[in-house]
Amino acid sequence: MKKQDRERLLRREVISGSEILLRTLLLEGVECVFGYPGGSVLYIYDAMHGNPDFNHLLTRHEQGAIHAADGYARATGKTGVCLATSGPGATNLITGIATAYADSVPLVVITGNVATSLLGTDAFQEADILGMTQPVTKHSYMARRPGDLPRILREAFYLASSGRKGPVLVDIPKDVSAATAEFIYPEEVSVRGYTPAPEVSPSAVRELGAAIRRAKRPLLIAGAGVIHSGAEAELARLARGAGIPVTTTLLGIGAFPTRDPLALGMAGMHGTVAANRAILGCDLLISVGSRFDDRLTMRPDRFARQAVIAHIDIDAAEIDKLVPSSLPVVGDARAVLTALLHELELTGGEEEGEAGARHDKPTGDWLNELEQIRSIYPLRYHNPEDGLKPQYVIEQMAELTGGEAIVTTDVGQHQMWTAQFGWFNQPRTLITSGGLGTMGFGFPSAIGAQIGNPGRTVISVNGDGGMQMCSQELAVCALHGIPVKIAVINNRTLGMIKQWQELVYDGRHSHIDLSGSPDFVKLAQAYGVRGLRAETKQEARKAWMEALEHPGPVLIDFVVDRDELVYPMVPQGKALEDMIIGTSS
């Protein structure tokens, strides 16, 4: 922001609560607010009218707005902002708030409410959104006076983007947005009793460093905390300098280049054989920014039983919550890894930025063993000449973009195939709903990711089920020329539910047939988006090339094998050693 523009916005004068809100958002560096108007926020929308400084994107559903704000936040590292009216507008945000909370995504969620005199009277479109969202927000505010808004919003952005990040709700009654007050922007912000980043214990770092020096079979697990803290360079330096292989959680993908020789791939329920066997066979497991969720550990009582477990996390509440750790280190991932690199004397030199598995390290035998497992059990699938496999679609996407695209996914089989067969060279390039597993997230999150990265290629990979939960947002792409490339992996069924019913419920397929879905090409065209279809390998590659060359939004309907399953797979209730490798892998 230019100095003169900031000085103009900081000018003290009596203005409405709505104008205070917009000014404060601009001073917080907000580039775009994703929203949908309604009666309780009309004063706010009226203040936007004719305001050349303020950028608002009208989605076609409130859930589209919050998922777009979420995608923006994940892809940029900034705080996403969305706005909705009271009652159903606010309640339509709850799934998106819970999605962001589960994955520690920084959002400021602004809702309108009825006038303060009507609160608690069951007025038209009144809802206790603070009470409803209390379990899935980092903090919540209700503004009672317009003059409080600058402080509240400053605190909201500070809380959302610091420590363990997360969504913060700001509820604004209609009369507060209409009333006037002198605008005073607080330059400093602090929240009493809030310590976002605890100091790293030097003794804990020394103990972990000693454990690394002793280890013969160490393993790093990179979680989303690595990406949230911007610690990918420190992680790579540790891995390459000490010769430690790296596996990731679903949300940690991109924290370490997926095609690096030290990368074992994703671990857990649909993880690679090499990653899961590394967990079972390691003598030191170092988790960085992962909360040991059930899709990673499967059976915590049988997880990494041969290993000394070190757990690095910014949130002390995660330590020992699911998996007991012998070496807990509470702190920001980047700060901890920086201290650890100093402890191991890996702060510079040839390890910095160097790719490759350092087999001259004491861990060379361990690395050779894992390479052998990876060569025997690579990710693979039956790839016939006729027909189209979903894995092939993802492989072509990865090859044609070189792992440089930002890829968002919805939830289901296509999500796992993207995690398995996609290439991700950088952090913040795989955007997906992990903890909550929210269908309908994929496409709107791509819109937000594209708004935040206008010069990047953004691809949205969806199933034919999830695409129908958010397809109305095609209008937004068409109207604004948002050039997202939308892939629909169309198997005419709820694929992941079908897979579980086949493997766990003795093949009893119950209510998973998606017959009657629209012609996705015609649907895209109806919204003014270019539509393509591919039913063979040749058509798939051609469609990808055509879509990637097109300057605007494109939807590709990939008609794939209805019966393909995601392998490897560890069934629910089983341990990592019970992995089903599958006939197609």
By annotation, the residues acting in catalysis are 62, 124-125, 174, 496
Q: Which residues contact 533 (CB under 8 A, 6 or more apart)?
A: 520, 521, 539, 543, 556, 557, 558, 559
Which regions of 148-217 does DSSP assign to beta strands (E)?
167-173, 180-182
Look-up of token digits 């920084």? 106
Contact yes or no for 477/426 (Cβ under 8 A): no
- Whole-number Cα distances in Å, 351 to 243, 326, 341, 345, 356: 10, 28, 11, 11, 10
Q: What b/e readout covers 73-111, taking b as 16+ CB neighbours within 10 angstroms?
A: bbbbbbbbbbbbbbbebbbbbbbbbbbbbbbbbbbbbbb
In the DSSP assignment, the letter for residue 472 is G
> How far apart are alpha carbons 430 and 533 in whole angstroms?
24
Question: Among 399, 544, 570, 428, which Cα is nearest to 70's?
Answer: 428
**Angle in degrees, 0-180, between the axes of helices 17-27 and 149-161, rounded to the nearest 10:** 40
> How far apart are alpha carbons 292 and 278 in whole angstroms?
16
Strand duo 80-84 + 107-113: pairing:
parallel
Question: Among 199, 373, 388, which Cα is nearest to 272's?
Answer: 373
3-state percent breakdown (helix, strand, coil) of the chain, nearest 5: 40, 15, 40
The half-sphere exposure of 51 on its side-chain side, counting CA atoms within 13 A, is: 19
Q: What b/e readout covers 470-498, taking b as 16+ CB neighbours within 10 angstroms?
A: bbebbbbbbeeebbbbbbbbbbbbbbbbb
- Whole-number Cα distances in Å, 243 to 218, 290, 328, 342, 350: 9, 21, 22, 16, 13
